Chains A and B, each alone.
Chain A
Amino acid sequence: MDANERPLLKIEGLQKSFGQIDVLKGISMTVRKGEVVSIIGPSGSGKTTLLRCVNFLETYEHGSIQIAGQEVGFRDSSNRQRRGETDLARMRAETGMVFQSFNLFPHLTAAQNVMLGLVKVRKKSKQEAREIAEHWLTRVGLDHRIDNLPSELSGGQQQRVGIARAVAMEPKILLLDEITSALDPELVNEVLDVVRQLTEEGMTMLMVTHEIAFARDASNRIVFMDDGKVSAEGPPKELMAQAGSNERLDAFLSRFRTSHLH
Chain B
Amino acid sequence: MAAVLYALPFLLQGLLITLWVSALVVVFSLVIGVILGVGLVYGPRPVQWLVRLFSDCIRGIPILVLIFVVYYGSPPLGIAIDSFWAGVVALTLFKAAQVIEYARGAISSIPKGQMEAGKAIGLTFLQRLQSVIFPQAIRRFLPPWINGVTDAVKGSALISLLGVVDLMQSINEVIGRTYEAMPLYLLGAVIYFVINYSLSLTSRYVERRYAYIRD
Residues of A within 8 A of B (CB): 55, 57, 85-86, 89-90, 92-97, 99, 101, 103-107, 116-117, 120-121, 149, 151, 165-166, 169
Known: A92-B119, A106-B136, A107-B136. A99 touches B113 (CB 8 A): yes
Name the CB-closest residue of B to A100: B113
Identify which of residues 176-192 in chain B touch chain A, using a CB-to-CB cut-off of 8 Å. none
A97 closest partner in B (C-beta)? B120
State in angstroms the CA–CA spacing of A207 and B132 once bound together.
26
Bound-complex Cα distance A2 to B122 (A): 30
A-B contact pairs, 18 of them (CB 8 A): A55-B120, A57-B119, A57-B120, A92-B119, A92-B120, A92-B121, A92-B122, A96-B121, A99-B117, A103-B111, A105-B136, A106-B136, A107-B135, A120-B127, A121-B121, A121-B122, A121-B127, A151-B214
User: In whole Å, how far is B124's beta carbon from the nearest beta carbon of chain A?
Assistant: 4
- Does the CB pair A116–B124 fall under 8 Å? no
Contact yes or no, A55 B119, CB < 8 A = yes
Q: Which residues of A contact B113 (CB under 8 A)?
A: 99, 101, 103
Question: Nearest A residue to B132 by beta-carbon distance?
Answer: A105
Minimum C-beta distance from A205 to chain B (A): 15
Residues 101 to 143 of chain B near chain A (Cβ within 8 Å)? 111, 113-114, 116-117, 119-125, 127, 131-132, 135-136
Known: A57-B116, A99-B116, A151-B213. A85 touches B124 (CB 8 A): yes
Shortest Cβ gap from A109 to chain B (Å): 10
Main secondary structure of the interface of B (DSSP, over half): helix
Q: Mark B201-215, 1 if CB is under 8 A from A, else 0.
A: 000000000001110
| Bound complex: CA A104 to CA B118 (Å) | 9
| A60 shortest CB reach to chain B, Å | 16
Docked CA distance A85–B122 (Å): 10
Interface pair B125/A120, CB less than 8 Å apart: no
| A105 and B117 contact, Cβ closer than 8 Å, known pairs A85-B124, A92-B122, A117-B123 | yes
Closest CB in chain A relative to B137 CB, distance in Å = 10
CB within 8 Å for A117 and B121 given contacts A99-B113, A101-B113: yes
Expressed in whole angstroms, the minimum distance between the Cβ of A209 and any Cβ of chain B is: 18
Interchain CA distance A92-B120 in the complex, whole Å: 6
Q: Which of A93, A106, A107, A149 contacts B121 (CB 8 A)?
A: A93
Of B119, B120, B131, B213, the contact of A106 (CB 8 Å cutoff): B213
B127: chain A residues at CB < 8 Å are 89, 120-121
* Residue in B117, B119, B213, B214 with the greatest tally of chain A CB atoms within 10 Å: B117
Cβ–Cβ contact A93 & B124, under 8 A: no
B121, A166: Cβ atoms under 8 Å? Answer: yes
Residue of A with least CB distance to B124: A89
For B127, give the chain A residue with the smallest CB separation.
Answer: A120
Interchain CB contact (< 8 A) of A169 among B122, B136, B213 = B122
